[in-house]
Amino acid sequence: MAAGVTLNDVAKAAGVSIASASRAINGLDNVTEEIRDRVLAAAGRLKYVPHGAARALAMSRTNTIGVILPDIYGEFFSEIIRGIDVGARARGLHILVSGSHGDLNEAVTAVRSMAGRVDGLLVMAPYANAGDLAGKLPVNLPLVMMGGSAGQADLPSLIIDNYGGALDAVRHLREQGCRRIAHISGPENNLEAQDRLRGYLDGLKENGGTQEPIVLSGDFTDNAGYAAVRGLLRGTMPDGLFAANDMMALGASLGLREAGLSVPEDVAVVGFDDIPVTRYASPPISTLRAGVFDIGQRSLELLSVLIERGDAEGGPPPASQTVRPELVVRASSRRLSPSNA
């Protein structure tokens, strides 16, 4: 398959050895002008394109980094990829992406299929049993975990302070006068979602708070947020809502409006992640900016350092970094008048 015409063909066509052809093509300086021209001409004529796999095998270098995410599309992951992309471009690296679709086994499969085809790995695997992954990793392959829950495995990672962010969300809602704050949670086996839930629960207890927790289970999709709100309609409505991510906040906000309730007057809403859409929603959604873009970019930087110093998993300190999400207050939770709870 691949490119039928090889370096050998070019060399032959140019009447030189394969070694000279290689040198000419790679722009080394120890080649006569004449030969270089002949080779380049032949290459152009034959439409020669170097065979990536062969080159990688010979050089133990692919100039490609592998990225494994739960999904490779959607607002959230798209932003991460963007962060990775700009970093990679600057370093002349290519990207091999793969989605694990929420399944650890698929993540493992993806990792294995990337061995020998990438110089390093960026993986996001917020699964409860993500620790197992470390054991099945190819040795000697630089790797950075993205957004892993604090200190799970001792791999270099970029940690998001989900717990702290959730705490901030609850505090903010209280400051806006909310007395009954509900939470729409993420998937049960998702570590980040778990931390956000913990933050919500602890936030309620702060300053002697006594509100009974109201947890509606969701799965990070807009539909889940919508459904959660619909379910709420039969009972007493909360006056504050903290969703574990923006998509659910969006769906919830839509559901509230359809039910004739106003946001934020009747119910103040806060999401998590700060994906781009939040700006366009009406009202625009308050959220916690985890700096999705930055996470991607910084992970890549971390990884390329590891690659450059020929490091693998061993090495000195895991060099993890923690990111504390920043509260972004928008119309969905900004109340001009005191609460009417």
Which residues would be at the binding site for DNA (CB under 7 A)?
A: 2-4, 6-8, 16-20, 22-23, 25-26, 29-32, 34-35, 48-51, 54-55, 57-60, 116
Closest separation between CB of residue 106 and a copy of itself, Å?
9
Long-range contacts of 126-132 (CB under 8 A, 24+ apart): 126/70, 126/190, 126/191, 126/192, 126/193, 127/102, 127/189, 127/190, 127/191, 128/189, 128/190, 128/191, 128/194, 129/104, 130/104, 130/191, 132/104, 132/108
- Tell whether residue 4 is a contact of a copy of itself (CB under 8 A): yes
The CA distances from residue 263 to 231, 252, 256, in Å, are 17, 10, 7
Pick from DNA, a copy of itself, none: which does 7 bind, CB < 5 to 8 A by kind?
DNA
Give yes or no for a contact between 4 and 36, defined as CB atoms under 8 angstroms apart. no
Which residues 144-173 are close enough to bind a copy of itself by CB under 8 A?
Answer: none
Q: How far is the CB of 203 from DNA (least distance, A)?
A: 50
Which among DNA, a copy of itself, none contacts residue 20 (Cβ within 5 to 8 A by kind)? DNA
CB 152 within 8 A of CB 218: no
- Least separation in angstroms between CB 110 and DNA: 17
> Is residue 230 within the footprint of a copy of itself (CB under 8 A)?
no
Contact (CB, 8 A) for 273 and 250 = no
* Residue 31 binding partner per list a copy of itself, DNA, none, with a CB distance cut-off of 5 to 8 Å that depends on partner kind: DNA
Q: Which of 326, 227, 332, 226 is nearest to 279 (CA)?
A: 332
User: Least CB distance from residue 319 to a copy of itself, whole Å?
Assistant: 19
| Tokens 């990792």, located at residue | 111
Cβ atoms of 241 and 311 within 8 Å: the answer is no
Q: What distance in Å separates the CA atoms of residue 50 and residue 59, rounded to the nearest whole number?
A: 13
Minimum Å gap between C-beta 117 and DNA is: 11
Between 32 and 105, name the residue whose CB sits nearer to DNA. 32
Q: Give the nearer residue to a copy of itself in terms of CB position, either 58 or 215.
A: 58
Residue 35 amino acid letter = I
According to DSSP H, which parts of 94-219 are helical?
A: 104-114, 131-135, 162-175, 191-205
Contact between 264 and 48 under an 8 Å Cβ cutoff? The reply is no
- Pattern of binders to a copy of itself over 107-136, x per CB under 8 A? ---x-xxxxxx-x----------------x
Residues 54-73 that bind a copy of itself (CB under 8 A): 54-57, 60-64, 72-73
User: Which of a copy of itself, DNA, none interacts with 47 (beta carbon under 5 to 8 A by kind)?
Assistant: a copy of itself
Q: Which residues sit at the interface with a copy of itself, rule CB under 8 A?
A: 1-5, 47, 49-57, 60-64, 72-75, 78-79, 81-82, 85, 89, 94-99, 101, 110, 112-117, 119, 136-141, 250, 254, 277, 280-282, 307, 310
